[in-house]
Structure 1
């Protein structure tokens, strides 16, 4: 992790003690978030997994029901399974982008 962004924000009037205080505060915040960070990461993996798995299974279930009650030339199961997978992947991608954006905003707020 580079200190270049921090150095850019520091004015010429700030003393060495101010710089050390800023870095110490950042390290303390990182330590407090450290334990929660592991659980947050595991929770995020679980959320991403479920956000993909649930729409996929729902699509497959609806497809099986349609194939059983309305048999036809084309199978609904595979089509709706793929549609559920696409929807689930889109949901997971959107959620990850939102969380990444929030994390970057928190870092910018901490640097200010």
Structure 2
């Protein structure tokens, strides 16, 4: 005759079952709701964010080239303004991605965390 599993292993099994159920519920939600427009939205967002880095970088370079031709000096305004534009573009990129990440976190269904204590 088999001995019944210990209380600890039953609670661990219950926690694992809750984690699997939570993961399945999230997958169903993502499949049915598609709150963010799917793959095409993701590709468009990546392109938009990419351009948010490229435009300030190229603008800084163009301004730097113009300054270097108008006011020649040993200091390279092209390089300095290109790096400044790249820095600004990266800050814009970081802000957009963090805002999108916050929006996606808000749109998720409530979490049934398996780490929460059972209340009987």
Please confirm whether the aligned pair reaches a TM-score higher than 0.5, indicating the same fold: yes
- Cα RMSD (Å) of the superposition? 2.8
CA distances 1:10-32 after superposition (whole Å, capped 9, x unpaired)? xxxxxxxxxxxxx4x97255334
Of structures 1 and 2, the one scoring higher in RCO (CA 8 A, sep 6+) is 2
Deviation, structure 1 residue 34: 7.9
List runs of 5+ in structure 1 lacking aligned partners. 8-22
After TM superposition, the score normalised by the length of structure 1 is 0.70
User: Where is the helix percentage greater, Structure 1 or Structure 2?
Assistant: 1
* 1:14 alignment counterpart: none
Q: Is the 8 A contact 2:35 2:107 kept in 1?
A: no
Higher Rg of the two aligned structures:
2
Structure 1 residues 30 and 111: CA distance shift in structure 2, 3 A: farther
* 2:100 alignment counterpart: 99
CA–CA distance in 1 between the matches of 2:38 and 2:89? Answer: 25
How many positions carry a matched residue from both structures? 93
List runs of 5+ in structure 2 lacking aligned partners. 1-16, 112-120
CA–CA distance in 2 between the matches of 1:53 and 1:73? Answer: 26
